[in-house]
């Protein structure tokens, strides 16, 4: 069974959600945290962070099963540990952004395990692509 040349919508949406999560994380730091980076090093860290999320999104888009499982494990561990490290929810304007930041990677992970997405991540034996 050959793979289609394009990923299913669920994978495309999951990739965009993870990229959006990375952008939202930096925006949250800017809006509610330390503000914009004050040094070249800080800007480099922000750029590398965006590149990492873009790389993960691209890897999902390309159908790398290892990336799908890596994201699933990281999201699952984070969801379990979140109540330990962040036992209280923020209030006011922070709350919807915080909840969105929690939901985006969970939803992206769920989307990568739908039947159409699973078919995208399974490569036929003998396929070098």
pLDDT by residue (tens digit) across 72-121? 999 999 999 988 887 788 888 888 888 898 999 999 999 999 999 999 99
pTM for the predicted model, two decimal places: 0.83
pLDDT at 4: 63
Residue 90: per-residue pLDDT = 83
Tell me the CA distances in angstroms from 71 to 15, 32, 109, one per residue in order: 11, 26, 7
Residue of 94, 105, 95 lying closest to 23 (CA atoms): 105
The rounded mean pLDDT for the chain is: 88
Give the pLDDT confidence score for residue 126 in this predicted structure. Answer: 42
> What pLDDT, in 10s, does the model give residues 2-59?
556 789 999 999 999 999 999 998 988 888 888 888 899 999 999 999 999 999 999 9
What pLDDT sits at residue 84?
A: 87
**pLDDT value, residue 120:** 92
Residue 54, CB half-sphere, CA atoms under 13 Å: how many?
Answer: 7
Lookup: tokens for 22: 């990375």
The more confident residue out of 5 and 128 is 5
Distance CA 45, CA 57 (A): 18
First and final C-alpha spacing in the chain: 13
Q: Which residues of 3-25 are buried (b: 16+ CB within 10 A; e: fewer)?
A: eeeebbebbbbbbebbbbbbebb
**pLDDT greater than 60 at residue 125:** no
The C-alpha angle with vertex 101 and arms to 68 and 51, in degrees rounded to 5, equals: 55
């Amino acid at each position: 069974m050959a793979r289609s040349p394009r990923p299913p919508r669920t994978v495309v949406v999951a990739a965009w959600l993870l990229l959006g999560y990375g952008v939202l994380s930096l925006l949250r730091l800017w809006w509610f945290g330390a503000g914009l980076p004050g040094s070249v090093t800080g800007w480099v860290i922000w750029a590398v962070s965006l590149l990492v999320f873009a790389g993960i999104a691209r890897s999902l888009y390309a159908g790398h099963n290892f990336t799908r499982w890596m994201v699933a494990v990281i999201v699952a561990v984070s969801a379990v540990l979140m109540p330990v490290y962040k036992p209280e929810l923020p209030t006011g304007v922070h709350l919807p952004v915080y909840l969105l930041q929690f939901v985006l990677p969970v939803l992206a992970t769920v989307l990568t395990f739908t039947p159409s997405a699973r078919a995208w991540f399974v490569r036929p034996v003998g396929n070098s692509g």
